[in-house]
Chain A
Amino acid sequence: MSSAASVSPSAPGTPGAAGHDDRKVPPVADMARIIGLSIPAACLPDVVANTALLQGYADLLGGFALPDDCEPAYEYTP
């Protein structure tokens, strides 16, 4: 996708184009545009806060190495 570079969020923890830590302020507008979602201005602070919260959980999870043969639990039996 030729336009991907202009709308994709930076990888968590890496400096964005503006040279700051993107984990502090997730590129919510770009992320929303990718999925066709328009975020009303009044909602933006709350969405940003929740996105940052989820990123924290994602970072926690991403810090754990899983074996390659560990498959996703899409068809899950307890």
Chain B
Amino acid sequence: MLGSDLVMYEEEFKLIDAELQRLLAQANAKVVFLVDKNGQLIAATGETENLDTTSLASLTAGNIAATGGMAKLLGEKEFSILFHEGARDNIHISIISQRVILVVIFDQRSSLGLVRLRVKKSADVLAGIFNQLLEKVETGKTTGKADSPFAEITDEDIDKLFG
């Protein structure tokens, strides 16, 4: 296997979702979402109906990757917070546990100060959940317990994907 894959289980997903919803409410934000550093959307909450979250996730990861490249050139480990200010909406992006990216979109109903404060608190909670998740994945690997959807896969299954 290449590197370690990201795996999400029901239990941790619920915890993450609950934390994102709490952050959404406490920060008075419009949308809160969590992205893997490789651009995979992990969870999203808030006014996401008319939002292309898949594309946003990919661009956020690209943005963090590019900023990380700049940091390296300057001898920094990473720039852990990015902030984009718009006429109506603003985006606050932060890296959690060096692996996942927390994105908060907010408008004039909130403020950068409030968002920063609430993000800081949520970051600790989310980091804890991800540590728990990683431990679980590792244990699953060593005990061979992971109930893999791939174990029984056949060529026919794959051919079906392409109709």
Partners in one complex: no
- Which residues of B does A touch, CB under 8 Å? none
- Which residues of A does B touch, CB under 8 Å? none
